[in-house]
Amino acid sequence: MSVNVPQDVDLREFVVPDDETGRRLDVFLAGHMPKWSRSQLQRVIRSGLVEIGARPALKTGEKVEAGDRITIRAEHQAVHAVAEDLPLEILYEDDDLAVVDKPAGMSVHAGAGTKSGTLVNALLFHLGGGLSAVGGQLRPGIVHRLDKMTSGVILVAKNDVAHRVLADQFKSRSVHKHYQMLVHGRVESDQGRIEASVGRDPVRRVQMKVGGIGAREAVTLYRVVRRFHHFTLVDAEPQTGRTHQLRVHFAYLHHPVVGDRIYGAPGKVRIGPQERATLDRNFLHAAQIEFAHPRTGATMTFTSPLPPRLATFLGFLEKQDR
């Protein structure tokens, strides 16, 4: 039975009746929210946005009991994505995959508060709908993701076989990704390994944190490329693919990514004799990806140059260091 909460708001509550005790949480919610797919609900549960009583639900298969009060806070999305004529830089394309240079400011797919203007919308237009269906109708072709304010190379699958092969490569950690990032402060070690589990922030649910809700193993390798007076340019290679992993890991070390005010970066810094604004985007760029072609097995490597806005900021720092 459903508590009397309006259908058009993000908050919905349900009380489990006697005849549904022992049912899986995702199955229970799917039965009471017919406009949502079960896979959508599973993603919401894993994001920590469903509560049983006063505690977050952490498993999609968790069993519910009679009298449990289930609360879900999420915005329902469209059933499928639509094609939009948006600029898109395709670095490579064949019958199995495409490699795209995503700009900062573009979400990979629809989500809470984002209905259009995404990479998926652009892909559907430019590739004529030739994308894998493994990720569902809202995320066709999407094998991995980049944050909205992160730019750089992203890999897209054009059929289900390629998608599954590439997904297995990500799972086995045989895909190598390198990110260029500028962080605040002086990173002392020339290279290092950050090993700190990442989960959902229990207070700020759109954020992640070390040791948060449902924390999972997260490993990042890094090396220092250059040090400036107040910043460090880093090459980072995530070994795992947790949400916001690089941003969370370096903020955890008290070296937040420049421009990333969500994770503690200041909006202004003193450089030389004056204070100036930093960036209105994160200085985080997916510079390179290496993987095995899903059909031929050949090693493929693609790179993306630093976007002009980031290169200009870096050039300014170099002049100040002379």
What residues are annotated to the active site?
147
Please give the sequence-ordered ranges of beta strands (E in DSSP) within the chain, or none if there are none. Answer: 11-15, 50-52, 55-56, 69-73, 89-93, 97-102, 151-157, 176-184, 191-195, 198-200, 208-210, 213-216, 219-227, 231-238, 268-271, 274-277, 284-292, 299-303
Q: Which of 35, 72, 39 is nearest to 57 (CA)?
A: 72
Are 155 and 169 within 8 A, CB to CB?
no
- The tokens for 172 are 């086995």
The SS3 of residue 171 is helix
What does residue 162 show for φ and ψ, rounded to 5 degrees? -60, -40
User: If DSSP states are collapsed to H, E and C, what string results for 205-233?
Assistant: CCCEEECCEEEECCEEEEEEEEECCCEEE
The dihedral over CA atoms of 97, 102, 105, 106, expressed in degrees to the nearest 10, equals -20
Cα–Cα distance for residue pair 232/223, rounded to 1 Å? 10
315, containing H or E segment: helix 308-321
Token digits of residue 209? 């944190």
